[in-house]
Amino acid sequence: MEQLRLNSAELHHAYELADSIGERYGRVDDPDFLIAAPVLAHDLPPRIRSFLNHFRRAEIGSCMIGGHVIDDAALGATPHHWNAIPDPSSSLRYEILLVLYTSLLGDVFGWATQQDGRLVHDVLPIRAHENEQLGSGSKTLLTWHTEDAFHPYRGDYVVLACLRNPNGAATTVGNVDDLELDEADREVLFQERFIIRPDESHLTKNNTASGGTDFSHIEALNAAPPPVAVLFGAADRPYIRADPYFMDVPDGDERAAQALHALETAMERCLTDVVLTTGDFCFLDNLKVVHGRRPFSARFDGSDRWLKRVCATRDLRKSRTARTALTSQIIG
Ligand SMILES: O=C(O)CCC(=O)C(=O)O
Ligand SMILES: [Fe+2]
């Protein structure tokens, strides 16, 4: 994976910018900060801006910016749940940096139906989810997927910032350009013959806010998922949309089932393990790479793995009818 390592001058510059923004806005999901973020990001060091522009335009799939020094003590314990993060946030500096970097790629957004509508997500092991197919799982393999594959407004990018990973749990990454598929299977994968149901993170039971959120759109996609293509775009450098754990084919479409199986096998061979370490920011092009997570043994004692995550879209307009206001960056 291509990597940029920040030198100490760049790190100082980036942290100074993030801290001044933190002082001004106080929290990462302040709507005024989110509107300003693409402009504020112009003040990041030039090497960061050109590196991420290369990632975006060359569609290399994934990249990493490393070298961030994280003050472990100031962070405090890894919370036992994403709904129990400290307020004010002990990781505001890194949350702001995550949004600034990601704003060089597109507009950041969250889902009303995920993590109670938060913009920046916390990826940490939750005891009750140990065996679940969720980012907050641990014992179970998180099967490779593109993020929010079922949803027409899914992001173009998902970005992970690693605060700590003492277990050395590996993120898996696989690039669609590396797939070895035979032509017949590839052709079928380009056809609208596949069903992707919502993953569990969007279910009512995995949100904790009391009432108010409308899950009917997710429920409708679950009840009657429209058939979609897994591969799309240019035949020689396609885009991908897939989440095999939640996928199916229409009744009796044996040929589609066979192609999906071929994809699963081929992608399995492309997966590489990436162990994010403290201070790594990992950028995933959600149309070019899939990702997942290997099983690990969480300790649930405040010292566990802790990532921050945000999604971005190149076109926030396409979700306008699903956002309550023009300025809202939460898709409902
Ligand atoms: O835990 C990881 O490394 C990745 C989890 C994941 O799929 C995600 O955060 O979207
Ligand atoms: Fe994911």
Q: Domains, the chain, ranges and CATH?
A: 2-331 (3.60.130.10)
pLDDT tens-digit series, residues 31-56: 999 999 999 999 999 999 999 999 99
Mean pLDDT of 133-138: 95
> What mean pLDDT do residues 17-23 have?
98
Residue of 64, 82, 123 with the most ligand 1 atoms within 8 Å of its CB, for mutation:
123
Share of the chain above pLDDT 70, in %: 99
Residue 217 pLDDT: 85
At 218, the pLDDT band (50, 70, 90 cuts) reads: confident
Contacts of 173 (CB under 8 A, 6+ apart): 1, 61, 62, 271, 272, 274, 284, 289, 290, 291
Best mutation site among 120, 143, 171 for ligand 1, i.e. most ligand atoms within 8 A of its Cβ?
171
What average pLDDT score do residues 203-210 get? Answer: 76
Binned at pLDDT 50, 70 and 90, residue 210 comes out as low
State which ligand 1 atom lies nearest to the alpha carbon of 158.
10
- The confidence score (pLDDT) of residue 211 equals 62
Confidence (pLDDT) at 207: 84
Any atom of ligand 1 within 6 Å of the Cβ of 124: no
ipTM: 0.98
Which of 306, 330, 303 minimizes the C-alpha distance to 319?
330
**How many A from CA of 323 to the centre of ligand 1?**
25
Atom of ligand 1 nearest to the CA of 121: 9
Closest-CA residue to 158 (of 106, 218, 236): 106
From the CB of 135, is ligand 1 less than 6 Å away?
A: yes
Phi, then psi, of 50 in degrees rounded to 5: -75, -35
On the question of pLDDT at 65 being above 90, the answer is yes
If you search the block for the tokens 């929290």, which residue do you land on?
27
Residue 147 is given by DSSP the state: T
The type of residue at 217 is H
With a cut of 60, say whether residue 183 has pLDDT above it.
yes
The reported pLDDT for the residue numbered 206 is 83
Q: How far apart are CA 1 and CA 274, in angstroms?
A: 9
Q: How far is CA 98 from CA 139, 186, 240, 295, in A?
A: 27, 35, 24, 25
Place of tokens 């699903």: 322
Q: Is the pLDDT of residue 287 over 60?
A: yes
Q: Which ligand is nearest to the CA of 274?
A: 1
Taking the centre of ligand 2 as the mean of its atom positions, its distance from the CA of residue 40, in whole angstroms, is 27
Kindly indicate the confidence band of residue 139, based on its pLDDT and cuts at 50, 70 and 90: very high
Which pLDDT belongs to residue 330? 96
Q: At what angle do helices 31-40 and 92-102 cross, to 10 degrees?
A: 60
What is the rounded distance in angstroms from the CA atom of residue 196 to the CA atom of residue 19? 41
Q: Across residues 141-151, what is the average pLDDT?
A: 97
The band of 70, judged by pLDDT with boundaries at 50, 70 and 90, is very high
The rounded distance, in Å, linking the Cα atoms of 199 and 146 is 11
Spatial contact of 266 and 179, defined as CB atoms under 8 Å apart: yes
For atom 9 of ligand 1, which residue has the closest CA? Answer: 135
The two structure tokens encoding residue 148: 């929010």
Is the pLDDT at 102 greater than 70? The verdict is yes
User: In angstroms, rounded to a whole number, what is the distance separating the alpha carbons of residues 93 and 99?
Assistant: 10
- Residue 209 confidence (pLDDT): 66
Can you give the pLDDT at residue 40? 98
For a mutational test of ligand 1's pocket, the pick from 307, 308, 310, i.e. the residue with the most ligand atoms closer than 8 A to its C-beta, is 307
Q: Which ligand is nearest to the CA of 140?
A: 1
Nearest CA to ligand 1 atom 3: 171
Averaged pLDDT of the chain = 96
121 lines ligand 1 (CB under 6 A): no
* For residue 291, pLDDT beyond 90: yes
Which one, of 318, 272, 28, 328, lies nearest residue 161 by Cα? 28
